Structure 1
Amino acid sequence: MQCLHRTRQGFIEEKTATYNRLRGLISEFGVIAPQNTDALRHIVSVQKSSLPLQVQQCVDDLLEHIEANITEYDRILSRMAKTDHRSQRLMELKGVGPTTACALVASIGNAHDFKNGRQLAAWLGLTQSQYSSGGKPKLGRITKAGYSYLRTLLVQGDLSVLIGAEKRNDSFSRWVCMLVERRRYWQAVVANVY
């Protein structure tokens, strides 16, 4: 299962490189595009007719190739998550979808290697770094010294939870909104994952 996630991650990195390559390609013809992928797709569709025919073919090839691969791997991981009972239990948590659930199961199995949740958070790189001066401990930023792919999936899932919480009025959503008010936005995202 980990090979599927690593391949998917490779395609995502390739997608970023492809979009950067595409942005550079169309900038040679005077079309300047922002880094946002949706905006890039929109600008390409609007400005495509002003590009030379060979460039239009290159643009089509670049865009079609990469999205199809990521979509296929997402479909495979979704099917795997539906058949695994551990993934199904994880998907009951807010912000955990099929991809994240499969990645958690593939990475940590049944989680008996960790004594508590804090150890898992430290393994993911979500705990704060600690410094001490004069015997007084100080907490710094999160360490980011763990499994970055899984940490990224969890943070992205929690980001969607925070965005959805602004539109709801249940007790959890109110708590999340209060957390965002007390702390900065990204601190609230990471705190909610942790």
Structure 2
Amino acid sequence: MLKFFAALPPVLIGIEACGTAHHWGRQLQNLGHDVKLIPPIYVKPYVKRQKNDAADAEAICEAVTRPTMRFVEIKSVDQQAGGVLHKTRALLIKQRTMMFNAVRSHLAEFGLVTGTGVAQVVRMVDRLAKGDELDLPELARETLGVLARHIQELQDKLTRIDKQLTRWHYRNDVSNILETIPGVGVITASALASMVTNAQSFRSARHFAAWLGLVPRQNSSGGKTRLGKITKGGNRYLRQLLVVGATSVLRHVRAGSVKGFEWAKALLDRRPPKVVAVALANKMARIAWVVMTRGVEYERKELAIAA
């Protein structure tokens, strides 16, 4: 394929954004072509009747020439590497949670109830891995010991990945300045830096928050504005991290140990905490857009943690 495109003069090439699109986009750009990645959901309206390769190609050609079309920025190799770290970390956490739930439920079948929280399960897992004598049949104890040792292996891998993420974070300038935002730590900052290719491709902070699915869903007609729940569109992983960070900030707001969030404290008096957390996550996303587009640290003059 590269030989074919190398023989062509510079042309406009449209590609549906997928797992390998960023790699081929970089390769074709190196040959001097103008490459545009299009989200598949924006190509679908241009497919006529039945879906096949020819109809898809025609739809992509039509979509890439539209003046109002929104494109996906091509990621660098370093950004994709950071994304692999985050995706692997999320997968290992999911597997660890599954193992935790399995151990907890199997122990409950024999009358051994673990306490609430991860720490209680970890304590029981450590006992199983060491082969401590528990009120369990020998076969069940040996089998649960296998699960316990697997959980410990997953935890060791997660620790190594967290260290790699921390090193990647401190090597990346964008990730470093994102960490200055309240509620944004190493994980969220590095995720934003690796998954948001070019913040300037968004026209405003609101468009960036909308891309993350943190704005209300609209069902407006006849001049009447109707807003519903958030759209939950875009990158689910980034949205989850921002909401978790906002929830952490709200804990300090309730305790009165943080200044500058009077609006959030007043909102907590009349709205559920989860709604306020999403509203704060929206604000954090908009701040992150400003920080990334301007390349400056976030000013904390009124948001300093009280002593």
1:184 and 1:140 map into 2 onto residues whose CA distance is: 16
- 1:81-100 equivalences under 5 Å are 81-100=169-188
Q: CA deviation at 1:115?
A: 0.8
Q: CA deviation at 1:67?
A: 1.7
* Matched residue type, 2:255: K
Q: CA deviation at 1:157?
A: 0.9
Q: CA deviation at 1:148?
A: 0.7
Q: Secondary structure at the match of 1:165?
A: helix
Question: Does residue 1:37 correspond to 2:37, yes or no?
Answer: no
Question: Does residue 1:130 correspond to 2:193, yes or no?
Answer: no
More off after superposition, 20-29 vs 119-128 = 20-29
Q: CA deviation at 1:43?
A: 5.4
Q: Secondary structure at the match of 1:129?
A: strand
Pick from 146, 167, 177: which aligns with 2:265?
177
What is the CA deviation profile of residues 79-101 of structure 1, one whole-angstrom value per residue up to 9, with x for unaligned ones?
11112111111000001111111
Q: Secondary structure at the match of 1:171?
A: coil
1:54 and 1:46 map into 2 onto residues whose CA distance is: 12
Q: Secondary structure at the match of 2:255?
A: coil
Aligned to 1:154: 242
> Cα 1:152–1:166, aligned 2, differ >3 Å: closer, same or farther?
same
Q: Secondary structure at the match of 1:38?
A: helix
Q: CA deviation at 1:173?
A: 3.8
Contact preservation (8 Å) 1:22, 1:62: no
Pick from 162, 175, 183: which aligns with 1:74?
162
What TM-score does the superposition give when structure 1 sets the normalisation length?
0.88
Q: Which has the higher contact order (CA 8 A, sep 6+)?
A: 1
Aligned to 2:135: 50
What is the CA deviation profile of residues 119-166 of structure 1, one whole-angstrom value per residue up to 9, with x for unaligned ones?
111111111101135542211011112211111111111111111222
Q: Secondary structure at the match of 1:149?
A: helix
Question: Does residue 1:164 correspond to 2:287, yes or no?
Answer: no
Question: Does residue 1:22 correspond to 2:103, yes or no?
Answer: yes
* Matched residue type, 1:174: E
Pick from 5, 12, 19: which aligns with 2:93?
12
Q: Which has the larger radius of gyration?
A: 2
| Structure 1, gaps ≥5 residues long | none
* Matched residue type, 1:2: G
CA RMSD of aligned residues (A): 2.3
| Structure 2, gaps ≥5 residues long | 1-81, 283-307
More off after superposition, 14-23 vs 100-109 = 14-23
> Cα 1:170–1:133, aligned 2, differ >3 Å: closer, same or farther?
same
* Matched residue type, 1:141: K
Q: CA deviation at 1:32?
A: 3.3
Contact preservation (8 Å) 2:252, 2:258: no
* Matched residue type, 2:112: V
> Cα 1:116–1:145, aligned 2, differ >3 Å: closer, same or farther?
same
Identity rate, percent: 33
Aligned length in residues: 194
> Cα 1:29–1:55, aligned 2, differ >3 Å: closer, same or farther?
farther
